[in-house]
Amino acid sequence: MITPYHPPVKRSVEIAGHKTSISLEPLFWDLLKAAAWREGLPVNALVARIDAERIGAPTPPGLASAIRVWLVSQQG
């Protein structure tokens, strides 16, 4: 297992036909992949869904922060 104290890793994802880069720690990338698998979605589709939810928030956070918060909210 990767140590949770690892610097963020930047990866490209595609949202609505546009590529964007997201920096997340490897632990969060692993959690995101697992969540996408559970939901039966590609990672890009899950990120797009999280992005749409965050844009609708009264004070939208950055995308990486929104992904982290979404992942933590799914635990438990």
Q: Where are the domains of the chain?
A: 9-74
Instruction: Give me the numbers of helices (H) and strands (E) for the chain, helices first please.
Output: 3, 2
Share of the chain above pLDDT 90, in %: 84
pLDDT digits (tens, 9 = 90+) for 27-62: 999 999 999 999 999 999 999 999 999 999 999 999
d(C-alpha 9, C-alpha 52), whole Å: 23
Would you say residue 66 has pLDDT above 60?
Answer: yes
The CATH homologous superfamily of the domain defined by 9-74: protein bp1543 (1.10.3990.20)
Mean of all residue pLDDT scores within the chain: 92
Task: Map residue 65 onto helix, strand or coil.
Answer: helix
Which of 70, 42, 45 is CA-nearest to residue 56? 70
Would you say residue 1 has pLDDT above 60?
Answer: no
Share of the chain above pLDDT 70, in %: 93
d(C-alpha 46, C-alpha 44), whole Å: 6
